[in-house]
Every structure is written in C-alpha cells, then in structure tokens.
Structure 1
Amino acid sequence: MDEMMPHSHLPAVGVADDEPSLAGVIAEDVAAWCRRLSSTLLEETGESLLGKLRAEADILRTLVDGEGSVVDGQPQAPPYRDRKGRLRNQTNPVTSARNPVAPPMALVGSDGESEFSVVLPIQYQGPPKTLHGGYVSVLLDETMWHAVRTALDGISFTRELTVTYERPVPLGVPLTVRGRVTSTDGRKTFAEGEVLAGGEVCARASGLWIAPRR
C-alpha cells in the first residue's frame, strides 16, 4: 500500500445525542437481520427465495417495532463521543455489531497481541466455498492493527501490509485470526499475523504501522 490507511475502531457517523439504548439494540437487531437477508439472497432461488423474503419482511416489521428486543438491554456497539465531544456511531466494517457489512468478529487482545474468532457466511465468498482473498487481507489488517493498538498509547496508520496465501480459507467453519507486534522503532511498529482454519495456517501477513507526529 503506497498510502497510509487510517484505522479507527470507532469510525465516525453523527447520530442524535439523546439516542435511547433501545434504539441501539434495535439497530443491531436490524443489522443482524440484514446479514441473514444477504445470505438468503445468495443461497436461495425461485419460489423458495420469494417465500423466505416474505417471511423476512414480517420479521423486519417486528424488529423495527421493538418486539422481541430486550427493553432494558444495551447495544454491543453503542454510540461514543469523539475528541471534540461529538456523538458518533461505531461503523467499523469488521467488528461493529451495528454495521451489517461486519461479520462481526469476537476479539481478545492485550500486550501487543490480538486474536479474533469468526465464522463467515456466503456473502464473503470468492471462489466457491472459499473466502475472498481481499477479505482475508481485511481480517489480517484489522487483527494486526488491534495488536498494535494494545501496545501503543494512541492511534496508528497502516503503512504496509504484505499477505502470503498458503491455502484457500474456507467459509462456514470457525476461523482464528491472530496478530502480534514484533518490534518498534520510534513511530514505527511492525506486526505479523495469520489466519487459521482447523489448526492449519491459510494465510500469513506482515506489516508496518505508523503513529502520527505529536
């Protein structure tokens, strides 16, 4: 990558300052519905597709009305305030429960290491039954950046990312994506990572992250 790509676990889209928690829960329920709908559109055809779309339309009406949502529940990805005090939605396309593009992935990480677990459905397909190679890079970039984030005080930007594909990454099975910091040099942080399926490494990556000048 020739240009540095900014990362933010909390990308910015403005929302109402007084959004109730139920609205956030409903938003995430609808995002999950969108993911399910995407799979239906890609897996079904003919009358089976039409029947499932009608059923999904009824489910959407129920979700928007708040029926079935936990009234006193809290969203997984609630709005947050940026450094200027503005309220923002969490829009990360890999991890945000509010973004229907995101799987989303479950993360653990600390002290320069991170690990995601995820099962990816058909909407991420490249070759049949196989994860699209570009999305493999997205998963590695996100996971390695999280490793960098746990090791640094502040934000960082992807400067370089090199991915080596060892074997196809399967869909519909548990995947583990790992990242770790390997070294630092001033504002530069180097990291590496891999995607595993069934204990086998499917792809590896190494990269460089740059912290902005203060």
Structure 2
Amino acid sequence: MDFDWGVISADEHDRIGALHEPLAEAIRRLVDASLHSGADAETIMAARQTIDEVTEMLERTPTDRPRVLRHEGTGLPVVWRNPAVGRHNPLAPPMETHHDEGRVWTEFTLGSVYEGPPGLVHGGICALLLDQLLGEVATRQLSKPKFTGTITLKYLRGTPLGPLRGEAWVEGHEGYKTYARGFLRDAQGITVEAEGVFIMPAWARDA
C-alpha cells in the first residue's frame, strides 16, 4: 500500500496556502452563520442559491495536484485535507500543532460548530483531536508510516467550548509498535486523557 508521492516546493506550498486557507476560513464562518442565523425564509432561499452558484464555480476546475504530497524543504507530508488539522479543510478545527523535544502541543479555540452537550465539545471531536496529536508524536510529525492500532480515552469531565490546549508524547516502543499518551485541558485542568498504540504496517516494514 505504497503511494505515488508528489513533491511541492516551499514557494508553491505557500502560494496555494495563501489562496485556500482564507477560503476554508470563509466556509467555517459560513457554517457557523448557518447554525445561528434567524433569517427569514426569503433570505435563506437567496443564500442557498448563492451558495449553490459558488459551489458550481469551484467545481468547474478540479485540481490536478497529486493526492499525496511531500514538502520539498522539510520532506514531511502535506496534510491540507486532514479533517483534524488540514488548513484547507473547513471541517477541521482551527488547530495548528507544534513539536518540541519529543512532545507535540497545540492551543486553539473551539466554537459551537463542535458542540455536543450544551456548552461542551462533542466527545467524538475530542477523540479526533487526540488521535491526531498522539499519531503525530508517534510518527515523528507523520514522517513514519504508522496507523492507530488502539486508542483509549478517559473523559474526566466535559470539555468546555472555548480556549483549549492539547499535548502528547511517546511512552515507549516495542518492535513495530509505538505507545503514546496525551490530554486535552482547559484553564481549570485536564478534561480528557488518551493512550494509544500505533503500528507500522507490513508494507512499510518491508521497505
């Protein structure tokens, strides 16, 4: 299950990002507005028509870029489409990860688009974000092919909407397995803990 990787230069990466990241942010704003709008039927029908027109405009020219890309300067995968951290994916929370001394950390804010119980982040969103954080640290910024084998979460209390911090680190290795732990927290302390096992697939071991 190897991939035909394309390579993208730093300049091209930045050029495309400057186009698509604001587009993704505009769509996030649209989603949030659609949840909170109290507009009348006529306004909503007009908005739907405009959205359909914009969608058709974007659909006219599909991308010809390879589905999987590596950054020419860093050698790391480009994860624009990733639903947890993809900077071009409007579904992804506004989360940017940082790597420092064997740990990955992030600080971000979640709004009501990610709400489960009133005022709290949906538990599945917490799981998505922690799977991403543990996976990044287990794969050294996604540079090593390893997939989630198991992930276990312990919800200590509800995770409030608003400013949050996430961290993850590697606990150890055993053959083709990497063990990682992490958490989400708000200003009052940890809300969710996670531990996971990440496994290198057979095709990568042979390589």
* TM-score of the aligned structures, taking structure 1 as reference length: 0.69
**Following the alignment from structure 2 to structure 1, what is the Cα–Cα distance between the partners of residues 83 and 141?**
22
Q: Does 1:81 align with 2:69?
A: yes
- For residues 153 and 20 of structure 1, the distance between their equivalents in structure 2, rounded to whole angstroms, comes to 18
> Residues 1-214 of structure 1 correspond to what in structure 2 (within 5 A)?
24-47=17-40, 50=43, 81=69, 90-150=80-140, 154-171=144-161, 173-212=162-201, 213-214=205-206
Q: CA deviation at 1:23?
A: 5.3
Identical-pair percentage:
28
CA distance in 1, matches of 2:68, 2:130: 25
Deviations 1:108-148 (A, max 9, x none): 11443111111011111111111000111001100111111
Flag structure 2 segments of 5+ consecutive residues without an equivalent: 6-11, 58-66, 72-77
Stretches of 4+ aligned residues off by more than 6 angstroms:
none
Distance 1:127 1:35 in 2: 20
Give 1:104 deviation, angstroms: 2.5
In angstroms, what is the RMSD of aligned CA positions? 3.6
In structure 2, distance between residues paired with 1:49 and 1:164: 46
Give me the whole-angstrom Cα distance separating, in 1, the residues matched to 2:21 and 2:142.
30
Residue aligned with 1:95, SS: coil
Matched letter for residue 165 of structure 1: Y
Decide whether aligned partners of structure 1 residues 24 and 167 sit closer, same or farther in structure 2, where only a CA change above 3 A counts. same
Is the 2:97–2:105 contact (alpha carbons within 8 Å) kept by the matching residues of 1? yes
Name the count of aligned residue pairs: 176
> Shift of the alpha carbon at 1:90?
2.1
> Within 1, Cα distance between the matches of 2:174 and 2:200?
11
SS of the equivalent of 1:162 reads: strand
Asked if the contact 2:153/2:195 (under 8 Å) is kept, the reply is: yes
